Amino acid sequence: MHIDDDTPAVRSWHAHIYFDGAAQRALAAELRERIAGRWALQLGRWHDAPPGPHTRPMYMVAFAPALFDGVVPWLALNRRGLDILLHPNTLAPRADHLQHALWLGQPQPLRAEVLAAAISIDDDEALMINTTPREGAR
């Protein structure tokens, strides 16, 4: 989609699904199974210790821009109180997380100092798509 000459292209989207405590951890695990069974996207690793810029336990799912219209409303309706960070990937991680982000639920603090201002295309992680949605991938 052509938006504007100096608007960077969105290469992919991330949804970071946060949880805190045993009850939310169980909800997050259930949601992960439903996502895996429904969407052809990349399921990231489960993190009980907050990785990188994140300040709460979470897991990430990555998806192609073409899936946005399906995945985001589905997450909005099925998040069951979990807070979710949605951010585009435009090779500008700091701005993507801090300025370009959308939140479902309550925004959470992020550690800006570990986010690079810019990365090259070679450093951008390619999507590893769960092409046949099934439970328990990765």
Which residues here bind Zn ion, judged by CB under 5 A? 14
Q: Which is nearer to Zn ion, 14 or 94 (CB)?
A: 14
Q: Determine the residue with CB nearest Zn ion.
A: 14
State the minimum distance, in angstroms, from the CB of residue 136 to Zn ion. Answer: 22
Pairing of strands 102-104, 42-47: unpaired
Least distance to Zn ion, CB of residue 116, Å: 12
H-helix or E-strand containing 59? Answer: strand 58-63
| Closer Cβ to Zn ion, 98 or 137, answer by number | 98
For residues 10 and 3, what is the distance between their CA atoms, to the nearest angstrom? Answer: 11
Question: Given the complex with Zn ion, which of 36 and 97 has the nearer CB atom?
Answer: 97
